[in-house]
Amino acid sequence: MVSTFSRYMTRKFLAAVGGTFLGTFGLVLIVDFVEQLRRVEDATRAPTHLVALLTVYRVPAFIEIVLPFAVLVGAMLCFLGLSRKLELVVARAAGLSAWQFLTPPVVLALLLGVFAAAIYNPVASDFRERSFKLESDLFGRAVFVDQRTNFWLRQATPDGQAVINAASATERGQRLTGVSALVYGADGTFKERIDAEGADLGDGFWLLRKAVVTPVGAEPVRHETYRLATRLTAEQVRQSFVMPEQVSFWELPQFIELARRSGLPTARFELQYQLLLARPLLLVAMVLVAAAASLRFARLGGLGKTILGGVVAGFLLYVGSELAGNLGRSNLVPPVLAAWSPAFIGALMGFMVLLKLEDG
C-alpha cells in the first residue's frame, strides 16, 4: 500500500511542479518574445525566426531564478488538490502518516535540485552565451553583459601590485577606457598614480594610451603610450570580468582556483558555487514550507489564508536568501554560510511546523 501511494504521490507531485514550471516558462517566453520584437522594430529589422531563437536562448537563465517558486507553488497545488479530494483523509485512515506521504515529494525535490545544478545550470549558461552573441549580431552592437562600467581589477606586478579602475571595460575586460591605476611597491608603499584615456591588455603588460604618471613627490609626466607590467593573462582577466551567473556549475571550481592563484577576489564565485550545491536543500525547504501551509482538511475552510501564508513564507525565504547572498558577496559572512543558512533554516522551520501539526 505504501509503495502504491508513493507512486501516486510521485505522479501527482511531478505533474503539479512540471505544470507550474512549464506554465511559467511559456509565460516568460511569450513576454520576452514580444519585447524582443519591439526592440527589433526600434533598432533594425531581423528575421522573426532569429528573434524567436534569441528568446529561446534567453529564457532558461530567467527560469532558473524562479525554479524554487515553481516547486513551492507546484507542491502547494499538489497538497491542496489531495486535501480537497479527501485523499489525504483516506491515506491517514489507512494508517499513513504525513512523513510517509511526504517522502516522495522530498526525494523528488532533492533529485530536481541535483538536476538543476548539474545539468540545467550548464545548459542555461551555454544558452546565455549564445544569446549574447546572437543579440550582438541582431542589433549590431555589444550587449550590456560584454561591457562593464566602474570596473575594478587588482593585479600583481613584478615589483608589487596595482589596483586598476576603469570607467568602462569591453572585450571581456581586455580593453579599458577612463583608466586610473594606483601602483604599490613590493613592501606595500604607494609609488605612483597613473591616469589614461584607455588601456589594452598585452603579453605581460597593459598598454596605456595618453597616460599621465604621477610619482610620489614628483611632477606628473605625460606619455603617449605607457606600459604597466602585469602577470595577468587574458583568461584571468576574463575570470574577473564575467559575472558568476555566466559560469556553469562544472566550471566554477576552475574559476575559483584560477582567481585564488591570481590574487583576485573569489567570494562571488564561491558563493555561486555554494548556492548551486545548496539548491537541493532549498527545494526540499520549499516542499516542507508548502506542506506546512497546505496539509490541512479543505472542509475546515481558510484555504485562502493558507495559500497566502505559504506564498508569504516562500517569499520571506527568498528575501532571506538574497540578503544572505549580498552579505556573502560583500565578504561580511563566509560564502558557505551565506549559501546554506537560508535553505537550512527554511527546511528546519518547515520540519518543526509539520512536527507540531502531525505529532503535537
Q: Which of 255, 269, 281, 280 is nearest to 347 (CA)?
A: 281
Answer for the pair 224, 191: CB distance below 8 angstroms, yes or no.
Answer: no
pLDDT digits (tens, 9 = 90+) for 226-281: 998 888 777 777 666 677 777 888 888 887 876 676 566 678 888 889 999 999 99
List of E strands, the chain = 148-157, 160-170, 175-185, 190-201, 205-215, 221-229
Query: What is the full DSSP assignment across 165-202?
Result: EEEEEETTTTEEEEEEEEEEETTS-EEEEEEEEEEEE-
pLDDT digits (tens, 9 = 90+) for 270-322: 888 999 999 999 999 989 888 887 766 444 555 666 667 767 777 788 778 87
Q: Which residues pair with 4 in a beta bridge?
A: none
β-bridge pairing 148-157 and 205-215: unpaired
The pLDDT confidence band at residue 107, using thresholds 50, 70 and 90, is: very high
pTM recorded for the entire structure = 0.75
Rounded to an integer, what distance in angstroms lies between the CA atom of residue 117 and that of residue 112?
A: 9
Query: What is the full DSSP assignment across 250-314?
Result: TTHHHHHHHHHHHT---HHHHHHHHHHHTHHHHHHHHHHHHHHHH-S-GGG--HHHHHHHHHHHH
Q: Report pLDDT for 304.
A: 64
Place of cell 501516486: 8
User: Which is more confidently placed, 337 or 45?
Assistant: 337
pLDDT digits (tens, 9 = 90+) for 161-216: 888 888 888 776 788 888 988 888 888 788 899 999 999 988 888 999 999 999 88
Q: Which residues contact 359 (CB under 8 A, 6 or more apart)?
A: none
Q: Report pLDDT for 298.
A: 46
Q: In this structure, what DSSP letter does residue 155 have?
A: E
Q: Report pLDDT for 1.
A: 47
Q: In this structure, what DSSP letter does residue 119 have?
A: I
Q: Which of 107, 114, 120 is nearest to 277 (CA)?
A: 114
Q: Which of 206, 87, 106 is nearest to 156 (CA)?
A: 206
Q: Say yes or no to pLDDT of 342 above 70.
A: yes
User: Which is more confidently placed, 182 or 4?
Assistant: 182
Rounded to an integer, what distance in angstroms lies between the CA atom of residue 70 and that of residue 76?
A: 10
Answer for the pair 329, 265: CB distance below 8 angstroms, yes or no.
Answer: no
Count of CB atoms within 10 A of residue 305's CB? Answer: 10
Q: Which residues pair with 223 in a beta bridge?
A: 211
Rounded to an integer, what distance in angstroms lies between the CA atom of residue 288 and that of residue 359?
A: 15
β-bridge pairing 148-157 and 175-185: unpaired
Q: What is the mean pLDDT of residues 103-121?
A: 92
3-class DSSP assignment, residue 222: strand
Rounded to an integer, what distance in angstroms lies between the CA atom of residue 322 and that of residue 325?
A: 5
Q: What is the mean pLDDT of residues 63-82?
A: 86
Rounded to an integer, what distance in angstroms lies between the CA atom of residue 209 and that of residue 206?
A: 10
Q: Report pLDDT for 122.
A: 92
Letter for the amino acid at 343?
Answer: A
